[in-house]
Structure 1
Amino acid sequence: MTILSSPHPKNPSDSLLREKYPIYPTLGIVSVWIGAISALSLMPIDPFPAGALFDSAVALTIGIAFPPILGFFRNPQTILRIENILVLSPIYWLLLDLLQGSYDLVPVSREGIEGAFIAIALFVSGVWLASNSKSWQLPQPLLKSTNYSLDEKITFKLILIFFSLGIFKYAYACGFNPMTMLFYVGQSRWNAPWSRGMLGGWDAFLDHLSYFGYLLPTLNLILFLQYKKLNFQVIFSIILSVIMVAFLSHGGGRRIIGVVIGSALIYGFIQLKKVKIWHFFLALSMTGLLLFFMQLMVEYRGVGFQQIYNTGKIELRRDKLHVDDNFLRLSQIIDLVPAKYSFVYHKQIVYVIVRPIPRVFWPSKPIDAGFDLTSAVGKSGVSLSSSVIGELYLTWGYIFVFIGGCLYGILAKMTSPLLLKEQNSARLVYSLSSMTLFAGIRSMLDLVLMSYALIAWVLIANVVVLRQQKNMEITD
């Protein structure tokens, strides 16, 4: 969730949480700055060619990853503590391009590159500082939804409800014709009847229904672990999850699939009572398959997956894992702001906060944060991202990058106590929240959008479970 409640005195569960899932905030701050200073000192005279910043990227990666890895050796499940996921996420969103030598850093200055390394270190420092502060409590509706122990019947009922709501957008657009739906899910994302322009109308309400589908794979895993066998309910739920993931992936948004499947993977890993070596390799294999599928989405979102069927083969044009050129764009923003463009200040925050308000109720709602990176770098017809670190810098420079890291760290601090709860609903919320924050490193807007799935959970879980409990009381 993106709304904070008031702070309360130090939670007594903090010591137990640190004992079982240890983190090292002070070491994290020291380590990331050692990594950042090393990255700056290792920069070559000509840092612009592809691969030139490999050593610098490795140095900062080690500085970021050292504390989470240290915790991993004490308890492998600690690597999935939400604070660790959050501080590790810049490695994927910003440094992976440098580690792969994906592209030349042009046009950008040396100062912009140095500023990008500094901004990453500031953000991670903010996360660690907040993780060492007083505990904050989750909003009550969300916290209440983590108190349920879902049995097999309720889990299966939730799967049916979430699938029905999640698939409605696609079914409605196709006149509830399954064959039409199947045809268009294999076509280009631009040709599907459920696609729409950037500015939505009443159809935006239908788009929101797809967030209910985000929970299906995790609920499916919960059901399987409850039955511990492939019976009719489990197999039927797997089919529904595969269908939902297929439609969600049609839009080409890799972060969506990352959140949906990643949440299930996290849930499965934290449910283990004892982590064995084969669990670790299985998790790595599943993560690798997820990254491969996300790469396929990039390759085929313009032509549709039916192209694979038509040609009888999978063609990959890219030989590196594609992210979003975020490090390059962050460096460009640091070059441009405030030298040529002013900080946007409150406009970025307002743009994100008002995003949930339907445009039909506010036609003049802001369409951007007051700065168009695409036109600023001389491009057109494309959408460029710079990660949340770029957006925070654009808001008010380095100081707000650090403040933003603290805010993200507070969100992580609020959620991490759910690891201590035994209820499967708490583990579900924890897993989804972890991936929501991970995706939220791409942009503030993604943090808000991915939070919709948590809202969907609160709305349905509280109603369904409470009704089930009342029915049981009446029966008794």
Structure 2
Amino acid sequence: MKFPRPRHHNTGPPPRRVTVVQSAPDDVQRPQPDINGTYAALVGLALTAVLAKGDLPSSLARAASIGALLSLCASMVFDVRRAGIRNLVRADVMAILSFYFLTFFEFLFPQPNFDAMVTLATAHDAILCVNLGFAGLLIGRHLVHPKKQPFAQTLTYEIPPKWNVVIFWFCFFIGYLHMLLAVNFNVVDMVGFFLEQRFSQPWARGRLGDWKALVGELGLFVYLIPPLGGIIFARRHRYGGFNLLLVCLAVLFTFFYGFTSGTRNIFASYLVTFLIGYSFALPFARQKELVLLCAGSAVVTIFAAYFMLQFRNVGLRAYMNGEYDPPRNDERTMFVDYNLFTIAGIIEAFPAKHAFLGWETPYLALIRPIPRAIWPGKPEGLSVTMEEVFNAQGLTLGASFVGESYMSGGYPVVAIIALCFGMLTGWWNFLASSKNSELGILIYASGFFATVISMRSLFVFTTALLPTVAALIIGTYAVRIFAAQARQLLSRAAVRSAHERRLPPQSRR
């Protein structure tokens, strides 16, 4: 009797468990705002404008500052949920935070003196103007969508690490050259002048620039030191210990210079560009390091803003020697710039007392980088300045880009300029990519200087762009040189390989 042989099905070994490794975001996930977050922020700002109440200007401003803060935080929550904490390292976010710091931040604290400076009605108008600026920045960042990354070849080409060190020291020397020339290369004297009051240094630029201002413009290279230093620190495994020590000392020296200058937006720009360079060069697995550094930088910024205000008019040396005389009966718990007060005064004066300035404001902003030594007939300033409006000759008042835009043409111009800034910051975000080289990260990070500092004044925007333009030009030139050298090496290798193939086997040995 025959029985059928059982059939065995060979199914092979059991399937191996596959571990999914989370990789760093690619180019498609570059930092960008979440549209739902923008909707949430706009609704919050609208509700703040309608519901914010107060019996006094200071209480109204405090309610508006809290409402704006909650609205902006809601937008950032959506951004973080979209792609993590790194999604907040964007030009538009830095611009919005800088603008909030200049206008509303100080009103989170009691400001009783503000009640005697403006009326409730003018404070309300100023708050609406600021909220309009926020809305323009939020909407404008969604209006530009490039099809591909701008300057991709320059931003993604890898250069040897030693050249990053060479570029760093080139920027350091050229950036401080005008100071060294003013003190005959006496570094001790130069540091001593750091400790004096603002505008008393021998390299200080006059109101009307001369031929010396041409050399002084090279000082803008200083703004490339912090971002490049942040890149080197983030990728410190590629650099030797001695190089890291020297770079660390140079970066600390630059931060010290920014702190002693008493100009808070400059110090903040140094810190922001350092963080941007560090964050984008940091390996994806070291996120906790970035969070701790950002938290520490925020604390440093707040304390620096407070102390820099104390000594900026007398100098750090006099302040440390106890020669600072604080104003009496000053009940402010926090002071940034009182831009909201200046905006309120501008709204009250234009067009009731002065006609709108029209194209005069953007025109002067565009021609500002042109040295007077090249153009002697360059206009000296606005026909009606903020100091004249407030009868405050000898002082420098700040009104942020919103106040300057209102002087040009009222609320419509405020909306247009805010939209333009939002579009520029949104477009700049497209330069970010996981494929960017260290040179590309430097160029991208340097643009944050113009982003942050331009929120205080429209007139400094074109000048603040000069370090980024210089980095882009130098980077493009360097990439062409390295690419040409690489092509020559490949060509020689190809010729050598072809020549060896034509030789008989005995000759190849």
For the aligned pair, the TM-score class normalised by the smaller chain equals 0.7 to 0.9
Q: Does the 8 Å CA contact 2:154/2:479 hold for their aligned counterparts?
A: no
Normalising to structure 2: TM-score of the pair? Answer: 0.81
Q: Does 1:57 align with 2:57?
A: no
Offset at residue 253 of structure 1 (A): 2.3
Instruction: Give the structure 2 partner of residue 88 of structure 1.
Output: 97
Q: Does the 8 Å CA contact 1:69/1:79 hold for their aligned counterparts?
A: no
Aligned residue pair count? 458
- Once structures 1 and 2 are overlaid, which stretch shifts more, 380-389 or 51-60? 51-60
Amino acid in the other structure paired with 1:365: K
Deviation sequence 1:182-232 (CA, Å, 0-9, x none):
322222234321123211101111221111111112212222333337611
- The 3-state SS of whatever aligns with 1:181 is helix
Offset at residue 455 of structure 1 (A): 1.9
Q: Does the 8 Å CA contact 1:120/1:389 hold for their aligned counterparts?
A: yes
Instruction: Give the structure 2 partner of residue 113 of structure 1.
Output: 123
Q: Does the 8 Å CA contact 2:226/2:270 hold for their aligned counterparts?
A: yes
Query: Structure 1 residues 231 and 305, CA, compared in 2 at 3 Å: closer, same or farther?
Result: same
Offset at residue 172 of structure 1 (A): 0.4
Q: In the alignment, which of 435, 444, 466 is matched to residue 422 of structure 1?
A: 435
- Inter-partner Cα distance in structure 2 for 1:251 and 1:337: 33
Q: Does 1:385 align with 2:398?
A: yes
Amino acid in the other structure paired with 2:298: T
Instruction: Give the structure 2 partner of residue 183 of structure 1.
Output: 192
- Inter-partner Cα distance in structure 2 for 1:201 and 1:135: 42
- The 3-state SS of whatever aligns with 1:322 is coil
RMSD of Structure 2 on Structure 1 (CA): 3.0
- Once structures 1 and 2 are overlaid, which stretch shifts more, 62-71 or 297-306? 297-306
Counterparts of 1:323-402 in structure 2, within 5 Å, are 323-402=336-415
Normalising to structure 1: TM-score of the pair? Answer: 0.86
* Larger CA Rg, structure 1 vs 2: 2
Q: Does the 8 Å CA contact 1:26/1:128 hold for their aligned counterparts?
A: no
Amino acid in the other structure paired with 2:125: G
Q: Does 1:68 align with 2:79?
A: no
Q: In the alignment, which of 297, 304, 308 is matched to residue 297 of structure 1?
A: 308
Q: Does 1:161 align with 2:170?
A: yes
- Inter-partner Cα distance in structure 1 for 2:149 and 2:215: 26
Deviation sequence 1:85-113 (CA, Å, 0-9, x none):
33333321111122123441444333322
Deviation sequence 1:50-92 (CA, Å, 0-9, x none):
4553223211221233112221244111122223333333321
Offset at residue 178 of structure 1 (A): 2.1
Query: Structure 1 residues 240 and 38, CA, compared in 2 at 3 Å: closer, same or farther?
Result: closer
Instruction: Give the structure 2 partner of residue 5 of structure 1.
Output: none
Deviation sequence 1:260-285 (CA, Å, 0-9, x none):
22111122234351464564243111
Offset at residue 351 of structure 1 (A): 0.8
Q: Percent identity?
A: 19
Offset at residue 256 of structure 1 (A): 1.7
- Inter-partner Cα distance in structure 2 for 1:473 and 1:131: 39
- The 3-state SS of whatever aligns with 2:344 is helix
- The 3-state SS of whatever aligns with 1:419 is coil
- Inter-partner Cα distance in structure 2 for 1:62 and 1:18: 29
Instruction: Give the structure 2 partner of residue 172 of structure 1.
Output: 181
- Inter-partner Cα distance in structure 2 for 1:382 and 1:91: 23
Q: Does the 8 Å CA contact 2:179/2:203 hold for their aligned counterparts?
A: yes
Offset at residue 27 of structure 1 (A): 4.8
Q: In the alignment, which of 460, 469, 481 is matched to residue 455 of structure 1?
A: 469
Offset at residue 125 of structure 1 (A): 2.4
Could you tell me which runs of 5 or more consecutive residues in structure 2 were left unpaired when the two chains were aligned.
1-24, 493-509
